[in-house]
């Protein structure tokens, strides 16, 4: 019996101890007519590890290799071999939430180190132990801002149109049932940036927070200082949505404008997590000390044991669902422990200079890619703003058609901006440190052929 | 076990680095397009350490954890069963790891095939009409379920339903979820035998009832025998019935939530489908629905050409453009794909017979362990009931007579190299243990646990301080949690 160790003797001994004649008898409290019986016939017969591994290997092979320039919130990076070899050690992989702190000091110390890494990368005071992903993390940040902004009575938050549309839709799906309204802020269609000018109509109005994405969905760098100061001058909190790789080079949200951002969230995937079809990733979440009691999710604190020795434990649990039930800050009860462990190992391996190198290569390669593609007739940058590692380009032809033709050549040439922004000839492309000069040339050559 | 207590930051030396891991630095020239005003002034205080130090540090830290791979881990309601290594290897195949979530369907047929089959597998084993794999954890599955209930009522113009009913023994996530979906919570009492107080439930049902959330077997570790009457009461009042799949392991292959009358369920794949808990996550919380909620399932889902009249056998995504009534996306992409692949592997290995065995042998193990523990003097909370896949002991008498609490016994168990069961949950049973051995533990492992418990109960009488001051063998003694919460130290500083 796969994964069940009992011999026939074991089963008989256990039944004898219970005083039952059969296993079936143990289900005698369940009304007989409710039992599943033959209704499971549609399920397949079980197979061995060898057969299922072969099936899945064939399937994985079917997702044939393609040279990808897709970003849009998930990015291909080199992941050092050590990261997942250590993260999948059974001691990390098969432990649960560290409820018994004395027997979970490994996981607890890793989380404390993670919280420190995130705080330092974002320039914030405190971090939680992570949430599901960047988009749901934004939803948690929006709900948190309603609780944390004591001056505001509003259930509205300003969200830029230039924020990743997948973040906007997931955030809306999560917050709308609590009558929270996300009000759109337009972007400048020349620059591809969210400008303070575009916020003028909301001056003096009551909003709980302004969301600022750095970089935004188009890869454009926003004038985060001006946006942050405008929000604070208008009584709003600032929720920063940032890419963690970029923070090795860019001003951390804690230093934006005069006072810095109040809440920071983002997708942790670039820190050592494989693309893996979208998950498991992790969302990081940090804030100023003042708001820590409004932050959802697990938080680990350093303390001492009864002999005065350093130790780590879950803390501030009075915010959480298992204590506060309907009055909790959120229903969330997991963090993305394993992904967060991998990210802690990744970030430690790279260090400040290594991460800056990765960020630098991403930026430089994306610039180079944009230059190569823009050398083709009719291809140009869609916007004038400087970018980090993603850039929007206008093509002389319909974007969806061009991307489909590129895919036939096994080149995934980015994302179409047709559906989300009605820019039917525009694509969004990304390059990272994994792309060689040769890869960039292959893309340029293929695009040239497709456009010809 | 390692005595590593140094933080990775304390290993840091300026200029040290694991240079094989990162690309060569780029020149400032190559960064000139980034305005100076947006550049970071000081480099972030990340550790500067070599590769070996990182490997050694995190390997040493890992040894301070209890884990299923090392210990019996009978954490009630968490289903800490063996996590097959084969599932990990299959999910980590390069073709799966390197697939971008937004890659076109033409380059995703293998992945989509696995997801499509997993959806069908889960549909069949739960007796539901449709399944979405999108939710990223049990609590997000709950959210999706209650959001669908709300969407259903709203689509019918039935706006007066403002309340979700929840038995008082429920997980804390249930009321927290109902609130996140904009509902008020009304708790329903549970009787002395562990079943819901049916009369109280009937009184609570009315035109304001949007639905009832319940777990069956309940968090009391017993099967709710009146489930059909409960279903009728809620449905007669116009409400829908929500199944919290936390305890699905107990009945997998034996009874299907769809056959019990539930309209919507979530499953915790990290429990029932053996995916790892990873020190707190990631999980996966797929949702299944009855006919009337099909239109509201969260997206994206995997679809197959045949269903829409085609014949190519190709798979595609079902998204909000073809299912506009969906409650939408709950994550940036499509949930915890890697967890779903591990669950798919597990389901394929188990197959039909294996599914049925899960419910059978987890129930056998729990009833065996309960009887053995009762025989050494432990008090069952519901002695007249069959255990499901888990059961509750109460140490209220011991706490009163010897001043040895459930917490003390839990801590002492660690000294016997046994992970403690869930303690103080459900809240309505004083000084309790919620114990779930799972189907993957040997009889000997359970017998060892019983031996440890017997010795601890003796210690409680003869030498209570050995219990009340435990643990003695772990990396740390009991921690000062009051200090942790009062003098917040969440981030290290030099």
Q: What is the pLDDT of residues B346-356, one digit of tens each?
A: 999 999 999 99
Model pLDDT for residues B122-160, shown as the tens digit of each residue: 999 999 999 999 999 999 999 999 999 999 999 999 999
HEC sequence for A399-420:
HHHHHHHHHHCCEECCEECHHH
- Asked if B352's CB is within 8 angstroms of A135's CB, the reply is no
Q: What is the pLDDT of residue A38?
A: 58
Tell me the chain B residues in contact with residue A418 when contact means C-beta distances shorter than 8 Å: none
Taking only residues 97 to 136 of chain A, the set having a beta carbon closer than 8 angstroms to any beta carbon of chain B reads: 97-107, 109-110, 112-113, 115-117, 119-121, 125-127, 129-130, 132-136
Cα–Cα dist B382/A431, whole Å: 61
Tell me the chain A residues in contact with residue B93 when contact means C-beta distances shorter than 8 Å: 56-57, 60
- Asked if B281's CB is within 8 angstroms of A3's CB, the reply is no
Segment among B16-25, B236-245, B447-456 with least mean pLDDT: B16-25
Closest CA to B17 of B41, B51, B42: B51
Tell me the chain A residues in contact with residue B66 when contact means C-beta distances shorter than 8 Å: 95, 100, 103-104
Cα–Cα dist A94/A110, whole Å: 15
pLDDT of B268 above 70: yes
Average of per-residue pLDDT across A20-26: 97
Q: What is the pLDDT of residue B2?
A: 63
- The C-alpha of B445 sits at a distance from chain A's nearest C-alpha, in angstroms, of 11
Average of per-residue pLDDT across A66-93: 97
Q: For an interface test with A, which of B60, B143, B279, B284 has the most A Cβ atoms less than 10 Å from its Cβ?
A: B279
Domain architecture of chain B: domains with CATH: 8-62 (no CATH), 87-347 (3.40.640.10)
CA dist list (Å): B75 to B63, B169, B219, B413, B436 = 20, 17, 13, 12, 6
Q: What is the pLDDT of residue B5?
A: 83
- Give just the sign of the alpha carbon dihedral A63, A66, A70, A73: positive
Model pLDDT for residues B290-334, shown as the tens digit of each residue: 999 999 999 999 999 887 777 888 999 999 999 999 999 999 999
Contact B6/B492 with Cβ under 8 angstroms? no
Contact A376/A451 with Cβ under 8 angstroms? yes
CA dist list (Å): A32 to A277, A379, B108 = 42, 69, 43
Place of tokens 């009860």: A333
> In the beta sheet, which residues pair with residue B146?
none
> In the beta sheet, which residues pair with residue A266?
A284
Model pLDDT for residues A175-204, shown as the tens digit of each residue: 999 999 999 999 999 999 999 999 999 999
In the structure, what pLDDT confidence band is assigned to residue B3 with cuts at 50, 70 and 90? low
Place of tokens 């951002």: A261
Average of per-residue pLDDT across B248-252: 95
- Asked if B332's CB is within 8 angstroms of A278's CB, the reply is yes
Give the nearest partner residue to A102 out of B106, B333, B414, using CB atoms: B414
| pLDDT, averaged across chain A | 96
Average of per-residue pLDDT across A380-388: 98
In the structure, what pLDDT confidence band is assigned to residue A37 with cuts at 50, 70 and 90? low
B324 Cβ under 8 Å from any chain A Cβ: no
Locate the domains of chain A by residue range: 67-78+352-451, 81-344
- Report, at the CATH architecture level, how domain A81-344 is classified: 3-Layer(aba) Sandwich (3.40)
Instruction: Give B249's contacts (C-beta < 8 A, 6+ positions apart).
Output: B79, B81, B271, B272, B358, B359, B362, B389, B438, B439
DSSP for B29-77 reads GGGTTS-GGGB-SS--------HHHHHHHHHHHHTTB--TTTS---BTT
Model pLDDT for residues B92-119, shown as the tens digit of each residue: 999 999 999 999 999 999 999 999 999 9
Q: Where are the beta strands (DSSP E) in B123-250?
A: 130-132, 163-167, 184-188, 209-215, 240-245
Instruction: Give B11's contacts (C-beta < 8 A, 6+ positions apart).
Output: B47, B49, B53, B57
Instruction: Tell me what percent of the residues of chain A surpass a pLDDT of 90.
Output: 92
Average of per-residue pLDDT across A267-278: 97
B331 Cβ under 8 Å from any chain A Cβ: yes
Structure tokens at A103: 């027997």
Average of per-residue pLDDT across A78-91: 97
- Asked if A174's CB is within 8 angstroms of B330's CB, the reply is yes
pLDDT of B66 above 90: yes
Average of per-residue pLDDT across B238-248: 96
| Packing angle of the helix pair A337-374, A105-122 (nearest 10 deg) | 30
Average of per-residue pLDDT across B207-234: 95
Closest CA to A134 of A295, A331, A237, A284: A284
Cα–Cα dist B493/B484, whole Å: 16
Instruction: Give A103's contacts (C-beta < 8 A, 6+ positions apart).
Output: B65, B66, B414, B419, B420, B471, B474
A106: DSSP letter: H
- The C-alpha of B57 sits at a distance from chain A's nearest C-alpha, in angstroms, of 10
| Fold of domain A67-78+352-451 | 3.90.1150
Tell me the chain B residues in contact with residue A338 when contact means C-beta distances shorter than 8 Å: 276, 278-279, 281-282
| pLDDT, averaged across chain B | 95
pLDDT of B1 above 90: no
Tell me the chain A residues in contact with residue B162 when contact means C-beta distances shorter than 8 Å: none
Average of per-residue pLDDT across B420-429: 94
Q: For an interface test with A, which of B177, B183, B260, B282 has the most A Cβ atoms less than 10 Å from its Cβ?
A: B282
Q: What is the pLDDT of residue B19?
A: 82
Q: What is the pLDDT of residue A65?
A: 80
Instruction: Give A302's contacts (C-beta < 8 A, 6+ positions apart).
Output: A112, A310, A311, A312, B484, B489, B490, B492
DSSP for A342-384 reads HHHHHHHHHHHHHHHHHHHHHHHHHHHHHHHHHTSTT-EES--
Contact A144/A373 with Cβ under 8 angstroms? no
pLDDT of A219 above 70: yes
In the structure, what pLDDT confidence band is assigned to residue A333 with cuts at 50, 70 and 90? confident
Structure tokens at B106: 């033409």
How many residues belong to chain A? 452
- Asked if B33's CB is within 8 angstroms of A367's CB, the reply is yes
Q: Which residue of A has its CA nearest to B277?
A: A96
Coil, strand or helix at A85: helix
């Amino acid at each position: 019996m796969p994964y069940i160790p009992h011999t026939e003797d074991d089963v008989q001994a256990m039944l004898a101890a219970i005083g039952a004649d059969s296993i079936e008898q143990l289900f005698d409290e369940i009304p007989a007519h409710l039992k599943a019986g033959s209704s499971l016939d549609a399920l397949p017969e079980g197979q061995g590890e060898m057969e299922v591994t072969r099936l899945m290997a064939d399937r994985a092979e079917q997702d044939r290799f393609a040279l990808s320039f897709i970003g849009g919130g998930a990015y291909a990076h080199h992941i050092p071999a050590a990261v997942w070899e250590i993260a999948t050690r059974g001691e990390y992989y098969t432990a649960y939430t560290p409820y018994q702190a004395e027997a979970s000091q490994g996981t607890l110390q890793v989380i404390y180190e993670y919280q420190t890494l995130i705080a330092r990368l974002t320039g914030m005071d405190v971090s939680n132990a992570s949430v599901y992903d960047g988009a749901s993390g934004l939803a948690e940040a929006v709900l948190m801002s309603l609780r944390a902004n004591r001056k505001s009575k509003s259930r509205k938050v300003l969200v830029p149109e230039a924020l990743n549309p997948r973040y906007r839709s997931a955030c809306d799906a999560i917050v709308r049932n609590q009558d929270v309204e996300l009000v759109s802020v337009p972007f400048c269609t020349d620059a591809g940036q969210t400008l303070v000018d575009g916020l003028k109509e909301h001056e003096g109005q009551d909003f709980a927070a302004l969301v600022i994405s750095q970089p935004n969905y188009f890869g454009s760098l926003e004038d985060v200082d001006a946006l942050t100061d405008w929000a604070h001058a208008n009584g709003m909190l600032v929720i920063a949505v940032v890419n963690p790789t970029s923070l090795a080079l860019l001003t951390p949200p804690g230093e934006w404008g005069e006072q810095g951002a109040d809440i920071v969230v983002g997708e942790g995937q670039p820190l050592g997590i494989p693309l893996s079809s979208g998950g498991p990733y992790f969302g990081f979440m940090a804030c100023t000390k003042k708001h820590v009691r409004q932050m959802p999710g697990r938080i680990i604190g350093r303390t001492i044991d009864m002999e005065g020795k350093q130790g780590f434990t879950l803390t501030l649990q009075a915010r959480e669902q298992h204590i506060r039930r309907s009055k909790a800050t959120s229903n969330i009860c997991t963090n993305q422990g394993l992904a967060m462990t991998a990210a802690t190992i990744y970030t430690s391996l790279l260090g400040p200079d290594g991460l800056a190198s990765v960020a630098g290569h991403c930026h430089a390669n994306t610039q180079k890619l944009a230059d190569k593609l823009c050398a083709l007739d009719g291809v140009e940058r869609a916007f004038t703003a400087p970018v980090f590692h993603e850039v929007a380009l206008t093509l002389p032809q319909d974007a969806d058609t061009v991307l489909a033709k590129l895919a036939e050549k096994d080149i995934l040439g980015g994302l179409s901006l047709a559906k989300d922004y009605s820019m039917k000839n525009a694509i969004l492309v990304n390059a990272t440190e994994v792309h060689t000069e040769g890869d960039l040339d292959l893309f340029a050559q293929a695009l040239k052929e497709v456009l010809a | 076990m390692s005595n590593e207590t140094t933080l990775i930051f304390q290993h840091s030396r300026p200029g040290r680095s694991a240079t094989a891991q990162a690309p060569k630095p780029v020149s400032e020239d190559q960064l000139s397009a980034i305005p100076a005003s947006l550049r970071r002034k000081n480099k972030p205080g990340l550790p500067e350490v070599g590769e070996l130090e990182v490997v050694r540090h995190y390997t040493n830290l890992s040894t301070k954890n209890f884990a299923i791979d090392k210990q019996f881990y009978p954490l009630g309601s968490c289903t800490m069963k063996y996590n097959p290594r084969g599932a990990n290897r299959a999910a980590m195949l390069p073709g799966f790891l390197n697939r971008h979530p937004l890659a076109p369907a033409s380059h995703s047929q293998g992945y989509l095939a696995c997801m499509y089959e997993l959806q069908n597998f889960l549909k069949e084993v739960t007796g539901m009409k449709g399944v979405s794999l999108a939710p990223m954890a049990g609590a997000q599955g709950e959210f999706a379920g209650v959001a669908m209930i709300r969407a259903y009522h709203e689509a019918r113009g039935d706006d007066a339903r403002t309340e979700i009913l929840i038995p008082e023994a429920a997980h804390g996530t249930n009321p927290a979820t109902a609130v996140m979906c904009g509902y008020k919570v009304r708790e329903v009492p549970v009787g002395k035998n562990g079943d819901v107080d049916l009369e109280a439930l009937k009184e609570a049902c009315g035109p304001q009832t949007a639905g009832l959330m319940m777990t069956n077997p309940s968090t009391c570790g017993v099967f709710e025998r009146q489930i059909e009457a409960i279903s009728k009461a809620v449905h007669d009042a116009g409400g829908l019935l929500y199944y919290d799949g936390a305890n699905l392991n107990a009945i997998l292959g034996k009874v299907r939530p769809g056959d019990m009358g539930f309209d919507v369920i979530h499953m915790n794949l990290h429990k029932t489908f053996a995916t790892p808990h990873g020190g707190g996550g990631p999980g996966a919380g797929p949702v299944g629905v009855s006919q009337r909620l099909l239109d509201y399932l969260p997206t994206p889902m995997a679809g197959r050409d045949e269903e829409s009249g085609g014949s190519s056998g190709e798979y595609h995504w079902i998204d909000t453009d073809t299912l506009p009534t969906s409650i939408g996306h709950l994550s940036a992409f499509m949930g915890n794909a890697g967890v779903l692949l591990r669950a798919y592997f597990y389901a394929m290995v188990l197959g039909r017979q294996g599914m049925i065995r899960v419910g059978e042998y987890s129930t056998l193990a729990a009833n065996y362990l309960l009887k053995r523990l009762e025989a050494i003097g432990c008090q069952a909370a519901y002695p007249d009931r069959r255990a499901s896949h888990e059961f509750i002991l109460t140490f209220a008498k011991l706490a009163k007579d010897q001043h040895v609490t459930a917490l003390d016994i839990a801590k002492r168990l660690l000294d016997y190299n046994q992970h403690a069961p869930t303690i103080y949950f459900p809240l309505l049973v004083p000084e309790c243990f919620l114990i779930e051995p799972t189907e993957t533990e040997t009889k000997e492992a359970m017998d060892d646990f019983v031996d440890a418990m017997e010795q601890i109960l003796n210690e409680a009488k003869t030498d209570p301080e050995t219990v009340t001051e435990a643990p003695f063998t772990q990396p740390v003694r009991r921690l000062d949690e009051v200090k942790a919460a009062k003098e917040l130290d969440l981030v290290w500083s030099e």
